[in-house]
Chains A and B, each alone.
Chain A
């Protein structure tokens, strides 16, 4: 009996000390999460359409990996977001208004993915670290007539959360569009990507 009590006290000590250690380490880590922030605005509860694509839940036969599925489009519409198809994104990319800053592309992925290849001229807006990007992205979005947000495509939801965050920050909803096919649909269709920083000039044509 005494032995069990001693063991339970030890468990309680490990639990309490471990929790304090964990919270302190997270607070001190530069990569740490902020406990009070909602990282999934409008998507706290996972929708059926948000299930990840694994090798066990592969896309329907014949579907390109980046193509937006009907479920994804339905989910976007439920969140009050406008969807833009690939052909319109490609047309906007070649439109002179893109060079004039009236069309803005936002890459909602993390640093590694952005550096590895983004739509040429796209700004990075990783909504998990908005403080890093808001100072440059917000003025660009406020001046734009069309904002196209994208991430990897497929089951990736980061573009949606980024768009919701921008909408909540005061960007007019009618200017916001989510390119659900994302970078995978972009490259599958033979479009160029830019590596490194924005306007680095290092263009790549990835083979589909």
Chain B
């Protein structure tokens, strides 16, 4: 029953778009369900790796041209 509740709210939990009451109920279940806990931990870890690896730096030429645009007003 509780595994279904985790599944239902899984993506909102990963996105941190879940209310406190639901979060509490899910984390209580994760304490006793290895399968759901692994699932949630993997998803959170993957999201964090993706965030880290997908960062970009604007190339210097682009930064310079944007600064010029800004100075022109």
A and B together in one complex: no
